[in-house]
Structure 1
């Protein structure tokens, strides 16, 4: 009779509509949840990136049947180490800046009353006479009442200080949430990792598990390439700072290392250091810092860093470069690690399509 097939089709169509409605409802709920926590998504992503990096260490320290107390202790220890790794350099640099603020204020008062003295080497430079004449007419005279000093004495500096304070407070809050998220991830890590692995295999199969593993390796390799190579660049260029007699060479080397973690930012740090040496008449030191920094950055950016990241992710050099730069432009600092992971996805999909 035709009634039974019709009923079967109606039942199948009803179940299909229910599945579609359920999928739409789940999608809407996930979108609303992400919108609610949108301000803390960067903190969560940073915590996940750091967790991926230290995951091998967590697996070595953990045991299959460890107690909750041991799991909490391991997670707390690793989270504390990560926090100190970030906080201690910032505190050191900030303390040094506060220490130098007194000297800066004295220097501003001096140039306001007496002007900026002309460097002795200025007239030996190409077009030195013209530059020296301009210097004498604009900088060597007392700067009291000049527009630049009025800006410093005015409300613009106070406004900038308030904005900086707001950004600092916001950064501290997000950093605290990042550490809290990292602790929770590390605390429930082994169990959550097993559950996530089962879910990925169930939904995407073995290919999905392989892709997730490659993405984690890409993040880990990118962190190694950026952080380790950055510290190496800071160390080598810092030695040049010491040899050139630059004041506070250790702190400047640390600043250079942090800048070197960002692509093509290290030249800004050692370029300013060389400029300081040049202004103070130390030509040989300025040339040595520029030469050392240029060689170190060239070798690190073109050979060492792409080699480290590419060997781990098995990505070509251009994809590594585009992933780092494009990720930073799209997602900010955390995009430095997300970009190569996404390039890994494209590479895996491309290779699978060619099989």
Structure 2
């Protein structure tokens, strides 16, 4: 009886101190998460360095981080800086009246009168819709400007978070195998099951981060290029926004290029509108329809609809980190149920 009491008391203490430790680390969860992602993605490079030059863990981890900084972190910092500048410029144009949302919406109403007729038949006042859209545009622009200022003011905090992320990634790269063996030894789930779950974590993290980022970069670059060619204002700003939106499967970048093409039709720029519409549907859309299933769906072994809903749910709950966390939770859900059916239900998916 005393042994059971001691065991239960210790388990309660273990849970309590683990929870307290998690609360202490809560301000750094994003840095910790991305450090794990960096370690998972770039660990094959470190293994290649080890196989070619011998076992020098500190040197190999440092070289791997330098390569990561060169090809990932520095370009992202440059894009973030340019995005902030373009966002502030757009807000200033909107605030000064150089860009007038009401005039733009009026052009669209004149070009597509059947939309107003359809709304009136449904008992909806088109003027109310217009005012709501204008208010939404103004609210979004103010939010972007505010966030841009916050980003600019919190540059030091961003640099600190990045430094913490890279610092932790160094140790995860260097001691990753030891930490994995320690976790497998500590967790009471059975070594074979833990190996399967860790492998699934690695597969999904690597696939979602690499796959979604590649798709985002490709779609954002393609969108920015066509906006620049067609002389649409703020091509870099819209390219970055399309890159972010492309993290949402199926719709993504179309939320930008499709309304812009409709606006170009409304203003009489038929050639530019047709080029943008065809380019968006064929070139930008093809990048999503071809690359995403290859880079994300195949490696995660998740159906496209699961990837879509888990990505949307993850972004809703966890912000930008959710495009990885959502599919990761979905994959672990599928893997856990598969293990249960294999081990306890004598069945497989």
TM-score band (shorter)?
0.7 to 0.9
Q: Which residue of 2 aligns with 1:6?
A: none
1:44 maps onto 2:32 in alignment? yes
* Cα drift, residue 338 of structure 1: 1.5
> 1:119·1:281 contact (CA, 8 Å) conserved in 2?
no
Distance 1:59 1:351, change over 3 A: same
Q: Secondary structure at the match of 2:31?
A: helix
Compute the TM-score of the two structures, normalised by the length of structure 2. Answer: 0.73
* Cα drift, residue 289 of structure 1: 1.5
Compute the TM-score of the two structures, normalised by the length of structure 1. Answer: 0.72
* d(CA) in 2 for partners of 1:122, 1:347: 48
* Cα drift, residue 310 of structure 1: 1.9
* Cα drift, residue 88 of structure 1: 0.7
* Cα drift, residue 312 of structure 1: 0.5
- Unpaired segments of 5 or more residues in structure 2? 118-126, 128-133, 342-346
* d(CA) in 2 for partners of 1:271, 1:35: 44
* Cα drift, residue 89 of structure 1: 1.0
1:241 maps onto 2:227 in alignment? yes
Q: Which residue of 2 aligns with 1:259?
A: 245
Q: Which residue of 1 aligns with 2:198?
A: 212
Q: Secondary structure at the match of 1:332?
A: helix
* d(CA) in 2 for partners of 1:167, 1:340: 29
> 1:274·1:290 contact (CA, 8 Å) conserved in 2?
yes
1:349 maps onto 2:332 in alignment? no
Distance 1:71 1:265, change over 3 A: closer
- Unpaired segments of 5 or more residues in structure 1? 1-12, 131-137, 139-147
* Cα drift, residue 271 of structure 1: 3.3
Q: Which residue of 1 aligns with 2:79?
A: 89
| Aligned residues between the structures | 318
> 1:47·1:179 contact (CA, 8 Å) conserved in 2?
no
Distance 1:182 1:219, change over 3 A: same
Q: Which residue of 2 aligns with 1:75?
A: 65
* d(CA) in 2 for partners of 1:242, 1:229: 20
* Cα drift, residue 214 of structure 1: 1.6
* Cα drift, residue 280 of structure 1: 4.5
Cα RMSD (Å): 4.1
* d(CA) in 1 for partners of 2:223, 2:301: 29
> 1:47·1:178 contact (CA, 8 Å) conserved in 2?
no
Q: Which residue of 1 aligns with 2:297?
A: 310
* d(CA) in 1 for partners of 2:155, 2:273: 36
Distance 1:107 1:332, change over 3 A: closer
* d(CA) in 2 for partners of 1:226, 1:209: 25
